[in-house]
């Protein structure tokens, strides 16, 4: 039995001032780093994802290159590979991350399970190899990529917990609804101090 921490998309474009910045994103970035530093023995592996979109196309319809985005299926350009917006927020201590996952390379992708590790493995393969049975999920955005990642972790047969004080969402209503949906799916939703 091993426990993993999944840090979802704590990137410059998803924090205040970014292309799709969410309120509280910078504070969550700092709090996640503090949490990992204060609980070094809680996790056997720390894994972080980043959106890593192609800069020269619509990424399978994910970017609204013509007309206005609907903010459901189409979005403004964000987290383009090689840009500052795609980098981790500076409050994330990348030295604490064991495995990096990039997702959305040319296609829409919300869940960390849709990405690949730097050495080309699917995340579920890496988790299986490490014997990970339990997963804590933190990051951005509660109502999109955190939600999708936690649901996929359940589907992958893991015991999953979302640390409710270490996530930030796009909107209060949809974030609250996402946490209810996750709880209904079997995810334990609780603060990190619990």
Residue 89 DSSP class: P
In the residue annotation, 134 being an active-site residue is answered as no
Range 35-54 burial, b when 16+ CB lie within 10 A, else e: bbeeeeeebebbbbbbbbbb
Could you report how far apart the first and last alpha carbons of the chain are, in Å?
Answer: 20
Asked whether the beta carbons of 141 and 169 are under 8 A apart, the reply is yes
23 C-beta neighbours (distance < 10 Å), count: 13
Which one is catalytic: 13, 51, 79, 103? 103
In the residue annotation, 9 being an active-site residue is answered as yes
In the residue annotation, 184 being an active-site residue is answered as no
Scanning 40-185, the segments in alpha helix (DSSP H) are 123-130, 147-155, 172-184
Distance CA 130, CA 110 (A): 23
DSSP H or E run through 35: helix 25-38
Active site residues: 9, 103, 145
């Amino acid at each position: 039995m091993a426990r993993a921490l999944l840090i979802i998309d704590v990137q410059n474009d998803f924090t205040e001032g970014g292309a799709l910045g969410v309120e509280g994103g910078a504070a969550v970035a700092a709090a996640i780093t503090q949490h990992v530093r204060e609980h070094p023995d809680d996790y056997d592996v720390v894994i972080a994802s980043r959106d890593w979109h192609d800069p020269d196309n619509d990424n399978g319809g994910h970017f609204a290159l013509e007309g206005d985005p609907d903010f459901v299926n189409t979005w403004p350009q964000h987290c383009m590979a090689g840009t500052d917006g795609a980098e981790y927020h500076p409050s994330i201590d990348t030295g604490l991350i064991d495995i990096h996952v990039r997702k959305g390379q040319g296609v829409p992708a919300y869940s960390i399970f849709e990405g690949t590790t730097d050495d080309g493995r699917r995340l579920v393969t890496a988790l299986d190899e490490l014997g990970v049975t339990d997963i804590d999920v933190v990051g951005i955005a509660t109502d999109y990529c955190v939600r999708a990642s936690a649901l996929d972790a359940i589907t992958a047969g893991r015991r999953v917990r979302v640390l409710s004080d270490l996530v930030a969402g796009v909107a209060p209503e949809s974030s609250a609804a996402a946490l209810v949906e996750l709880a209904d799916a079997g995810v334990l939703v609780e603060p990190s101090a619990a």
